[in-house]
Amino acid sequence: MERIGKLVLMALLLSVALVLHYIESFFPPLAPGAKLGLANIITITSLHLLGFKESMAIVLMRSVLGPILGGSPTGILFSLAGGTLSCIVMSLLYYRFRRHFSLPGISVAGAVFHNIGQMLMASLIYGSIGILFTYLPILMLASVFTGNFIGLASKYIIKFLSSKAVNARIG
């Protein structure tokens, strides 16, 4: 892929991720602190379309810009911790162990580590590891549902983007 094409694609994915991140804030949370993680669709899609470095760049920018656009800059640290950890885990599974994992499985793992990252950061900031232990069980249960949903959504998006008609356009 041409450099300029890659740049455009990254910018496009980032803006979609930001919009999804923003739209998500209108949904009521499934459980305290649990969210759908719609922006994760973009992380998985970019892992497929681009690569680890590019996906990481998108995640980092989304984690910083998302909370600012959403009006809560304090969320940047949580977002960064969760986003980077989940991106690292998902790319590891996607590029190294793709044969053994389905896309929803990778997505669930990503959701799990997103929550772990966030809760570790919260524990660090508030100085009590108890926060991690208190919220983790309910967040893990939520991750199973949201992760599968996001994984399936990504699967169809990737399938669509890989089809010939679309490929000819974004080639």
x/- map, 51-90, other proteins, by CB under 8 A: ----------------x--x-x-xx--xx--x--------
Closer to other proteins by Cβ: residue 162 or 167: 162
* Cβ–Cβ under 8 Å, residues 115 and 82: yes
User: 34 to each of 72, 115, 116, how far by Cα in Å?
Assistant: 17, 8, 12
109 near other proteins, rule: CB under 8 A:
yes
Residue keyed to tokens 């010939």:
164
Nearest approach in angstroms of CB 24 to other proteins is 8
97 near other proteins, rule: CB under 8 A:
yes
Residue keyed to tokens 């009006």:
71
* Cβ–Cβ under 8 Å, residues 132 and 126: no
Residue keyed to tokens 């680890």:
52
Nearest approach in angstroms of CB 18 to other proteins is 13
Per CB under 8 A, the list member of 6, 9, 22, 24 interacting with other proteins is 24
How many other C-beta atoms can be found within 10 angstroms of the C-beta atom of residue 142? 21
Closer to other proteins by Cβ: residue 5 or 32: 32
151 burial level (CB within 10 Å; 0-12, 13-18, 19+) = buried
100 near other proteins, rule: CB under 8 A:
yes
Closer to other proteins by Cβ: residue 6 or 25: 25
Residue keyed to tokens 């470095």:
53
- Residue 31 DSSP symbol: B
Per CB under 8 A, the list member of 45, 55, 91, 143 interacting with other proteins is 143
CA distance 47 to 71: 28
Q: Which residues bind other proteins (CB under 8 A)?
A: 21, 24-25, 32-33, 35, 37, 39, 67, 70, 72, 74-75, 78-79, 82, 93, 97, 100-102, 104-105, 108-109, 112, 114, 116, 118, 122, 126-134, 136-137, 140-141, 143-144
